[in-house]
Amino acid sequence: MSWSLVFKPVIPMPALLGLAVVALLAVVGGYALCAKGTGRWRRSILTLLRLVVLGILLLILARPMVLQPAEPVSDRPVFAILVDTSQSMNTVDVGGQSRFDAAVSALTGSQGRSFLADLSRRFRVQLYGFDEEVRRLSIRELSSQPRAEGRDTRIAAALMEVSEGRAGRAPKGVLLISDGRSNEFQGQAEVYQAARYLRTHKVPVWTIPLGSDTDVRDVTLTASLSSNYILADQPASIRVTVASSGYDNWHVKLNLYREEVYVTSAQVELQSGHAEVRFPIREETQGAFQYRVVVEPLPGEADTANNERRLVARIVNEKVKVLVVEAKPHWDSKFLLRALRSDINIEVTSIFHINQDKTFAVVERISPDDALVKEEVPGVAMPRTKEALYTYDCVFLGRHMDDVFSSKDLSLLQDYVTERGGSVVFFRGKPYALASPQLARLEPVTWGEGAMHDLHFDLTVEGKSHPMFNYAAHASPGDVIVRELPGMTSITRVDDQRSLAVVLAQTRDDRNGQPMATVAYHRYGKGKVMSIGAAGLWQWGFLPESLQAYDDIHTRFWSQMIRWLISDSEFLPGQDISFVVDRHTYEPGEMVRLALNAKLVDRARFRPRIELTDPTGEKTVLIPERQGESDTLYAAYYLPEHEGQYEAVLFDNTGRPETDRVRFTVYDDSLEARYVQSDRGLLARLAQTTGGESLALEDLPELPARIKAFEQLFRAELRPQDVWDRGSVFGLLVALLGCEWLIRRLSGMV
């Protein structure tokens, strides 16, 4: 490695040079006058030795220093290439290719290979694909992908994850190939924040924007029900959102159909390309009913296939009765009750067991005078008989339940789940202080010791598609919304989960880094038991102004949980087979679970079969299988490929009814599918802020030449270090002076 020598004299250099001249004259003159009796050669050697010693001393006074790196420098720094793999990259507007294919061709073609080879001479090149996640890829893995499949674009998150070294060694520069369409919660603000962070850490970003930034004239439609399950003869609504590009301030007409029969219309104005309307609906009988919403095409519209949405409304004729038991009032229980009380379809009984002598209980039921008003009915006692407990569909238990229930009560609770098919939710972590064998048998997890604080939890694959976390009214998927909401005040440690438990959300254990179940459930007998190991969910119901867009999430979380918990046990009169789906609207790629709950059937002869018809008319036969050790629950799973309406018909050879059917819809409501115009300005400002450049795709081979100046950014800081303060210099001085003294002694001068 090359290095440089510099001098930092302890006295000014002119004075040092003057001192050197004086010393030279003194030595030469001294030996010339004082050593006349000594031979000429011996006198010359003595003069030379004394001059060398003085020269070394004068050099030390000049303080020679060598510039060396402050830290060891590796042979080659890292350069990261980020390729956008979100669905908007499938838009065909780059020379007849999709944006994704154009990016892949640029990196894998002859020019791309030459570019990568040139870049690899000075850098260790690392390739990543990014959408809602960041993944390390090889060129072969990238080129083998037929299309981009990501359902979200997270530019800021990808830049931060790579630059902070979480996805590998931190790079010294980044090439970002994208259309710039970022779907982060705060959008461009988050990208600019990441850009400022990269600038501070001297990590320039070069961007290659792909796609057209011209709006395509189009109208898209999304629709959702006010609830996954609707009570018979109770008001509900269909929320319809219309988004457009190229039609600002136009008027559009929306038509509503029920079972293909026209119901009503609404006309709305597209203010800033957006409009929203609610259609009220009301069904008098139990069952599943199809609704269809259509927006009439506008002149010059590019795609009319996204002008229609179908929904299936599931109507039930029983109000859900919920019991909430807590030892002492807590913020979580307070906000839980507030959420449940706001749902007109739920009748809530709350019991606070202050001590053995003091219990406070209130039931809120629908007023007989007004179906939209709840009234409080005091004087309710703790249910301690089957008749009293079995009237509830779902029971929520807080902490210290071993102080609330006796051993007999806990055995009754176990019967409630196994026999009645009720549901139990432990909503604040471990429900007992010391030990409770009856409750421990019910739980889907084994609790550990202690808790972690101020953490978020992340949804698992099962959690992302679960009805509890399905917030169709919002553009972002459930896992993204959960990450943006406030974290939990504490999360109880979990040592393990039962073999048949399903984990919906998890947290990293801070002791070993392993995933730990935070929200989990399992089927127990005829019922379900769910454990939520987090305290602090109340914060979802008390959001700051910046998160007010999510002010309904807390209520929807609990309401949708309750409806899902009781969904498998709903039988119509005269039926011994219940055939349901977890919900009636799915997104592409989400697994659909078709569930059967069979009672009073001959297990040896029971051979159910499901015939499923997709939107293209193609039929698929599914054979439901028994779930775990349950004698009554069967399920089949199906992964839909097409958007539109699906119909599944159950053929049952022993139970009643002999046939039954369910319908569900599959639509892609992600922003990736609705807004595909590129944002070249965002990518240009990102590059400018960090010190990079925004390039055209054809300029890619020139990038290695353009970043030669960038090499200055990854050179380690050079610091001067003294070269004289070492033993070898001191030893040389002693040796020279010693030789001079010896010669002088031999010459009789000492």
Residue 671 lies in a domain: no
Segment of 51-65, 506-520, 661-675 carrying the highest mean pLDDT: 506-520
Q: Is the pLDDT of residue 600 over 80?
A: no
| 67 and 182 within one domain | no
**Which of 80-94, 154-168, 513-527, 530-544 is predicted least confidently?**
154-168
Q: Is the pLDDT of residue 183 over 70?
A: no
CB atoms closer than 10 angstroms to residue 148: 25
Q: What is the pLDDT of residue 19?
A: 81
pLDDT tens digits along 403-457: 888 888 888 998 898 888 889 999 988 888 877 888 888 999 999 888 999 999 9
Going by C-beta distance under 8 Å and a sequence separation of 6 or more, which residues neighbour residue 731?
none
Going by pLDDT thresholds of 50, 70 and 90, the confidence category of residue 505 is very high
Residue 172 lies in a domain: yes
| Domain end (from 316, 343, 366) | 316
| 595 and 547 within one domain | no
Q: Is the pLDDT of residue 573 over 50?
A: no
* Of 427 and 500, more confident: 427
Q: What is the pLDDT of residue 88?
A: 85
Going by C-beta distance under 8 Å and a sequence separation of 6 or more, which residues neighbour residue 140?
none
Residue 89 lies in a domain: yes
Q: What is the pLDDT of residue 529?
A: 94
Going by pLDDT thresholds of 50, 70 and 90, the confidence category of residue 22 is confident
| 142 and 226 within one domain | no
- CATH number of the CATH domain containing 299: 2.60.40.10
What value does the mean pLDDT of the chain take? 82
Structural domain including 198 reads 78-214+677-714
* Of 40 and 191, more confident: 191
- Residue 156's nearest CA partner among 118, 136, 130, 122 is 130
Tokens of 409: 């009560």
Going by pLDDT thresholds of 50, 70 and 90, the confidence category of residue 610 is very high
Q: What is the pLDDT of residue 67?
A: 64
Q: What is the pLDDT of residue 4?
A: 63
| 335 and 458 within one domain | yes
| 438 and 325 within one domain | yes
Residue 672 lies in a domain: no
Residue 233 lies in a domain: yes
Domain count across the chain = 5
- Residue 274's nearest CA partner among 293, 305, 295, 292 is 295
Q: Is the pLDDT of residue 644 over 90?
A: no
Helix axes 40-61, 13-34, angle to 10 degrees: 160
Helix axes 99-108, 110-120, angle to 10 degrees: 60
- Residue 123's nearest CA partner among 713, 698, 683, 692 is 713
| 271 and 346 within one domain | no
CB atoms closer than 10 angstroms to residue 521: 28
| 343 and 274 within one domain | no
| 337 and 312 within one domain | no
Q: Is the pLDDT of residue 398 over 60?
A: yes
- CATH number of the CATH domain containing 409: 3.40.50.880
Average confidence (pLDDT) over 356-369: 63
Amino acid at 261: V
* Of 732 and 98, more confident: 98
| 528 and 459 within one domain | yes
- Residue 409's nearest CA partner among 435, 381, 430, 383 is 383
Q: What is the pLDDT of residue 187?
A: 59
- Residue 210's nearest CA partner among 184, 188, 245, 180 is 180
pLDDT tens digits along 383-396: 888 888 888 889 99
pLDDT tens digits along 688-707: 999 889 999 888 888 887 77
Average confidence (pLDDT) over 652-669: 79
Percent of the chain whose predicted confidence (pLDDT) is above 70: 85
Q: What is the pLDDT of residue 1?
A: 43
Average confidence (pLDDT) over 313-323: 80
| 391 and 524 within one domain | yes
**Which of 31-35, 81-85, 523-527 is predicted least confidently?**
31-35
* Of 274 and 506, more confident: 506
Percent of the chain whose predicted confidence (pLDDT) is above 90: 25
Q: Judging by beta carbons within 10 Å of its beta carbon (0-12, 13-18, 19+), is residue 324 exposed, middle or buried?
A: buried
Q: What is the pLDDT of residue 714?
A: 47
| Domain end (from 603, 632, 666) | 666
Going by pLDDT thresholds of 50, 70 and 90, the confidence category of residue 568 is low
Do residues 440 and 498 touch, judged by C-beta distance below 8 A?
Answer: no
| 391 and 512 within one domain | yes
- Residue 620's nearest CA partner among 646, 600, 595 is 646
Going by pLDDT thresholds of 50, 70 and 90, the confidence category of residue 229 is low
Q: Judging by beta carbons within 10 Å of its beta carbon (0-12, 13-18, 19+), is residue 365 exposed, middle or buried?
A: middle
* Of 234 and 717, more confident: 234
Segment of 81-85, 335-339, 376-380, 631-635 carrying the highest mean pLDDT: 81-85
**Which of 282-286, 395-399, 657-661 is predicted least confidently?**
657-661
Q: Is the pLDDT of residue 248 over 90?
A: no
Q: How far apart are CA 389 and CA 509, in angstroms?
A: 37
Q: What is the pLDDT of residue 34?
A: 66
| 373 and 296 within one domain | no
